[in-house]
Amino acid sequence: MKAATLKLVDPTSAEIDFLRSELSTGLTLTGIALDSRDQARRNRNCANARKAYDAVKRFVPRVALSPDETNEINSRLEHLRSELQRLGEEV
């Protein structure tokens, strides 16, 4: 049997990728919700986008971000927040 090789990943890089992924997912879901005429679909996508928003808010303080990364994440987080507000979320 072959020994498993352990690939080392820079934790900060993985954390930043996680934040970016959550923001992208959240923004995609708000877009789907805003375009949906089906109220159940709109509510479901809005709720899932809110989960992405909350996850980013929860994890940002734990990640060592460069000034450029901080600006990027905060800008996208603000965009997600404004889209959630358009959907009636209190954020």
Helices (H), 1-91: 11-35, 39-59, 67-86
Q: What is the dihedral angle through the alpha carbons of 22, 28, 33, 34, rounded to the nearest 10 degrees?
A: 120
What is the chain's pLDDT, residue by residue, as a tens digit (91 residues)?
A: 566 665 666 778 999 999 999 999 999 999 999 999 999 999 999 999 999 999 999 999 999 999 999 999 999 999 999 999 999 999 9
pLDDT value of residue 22: 99
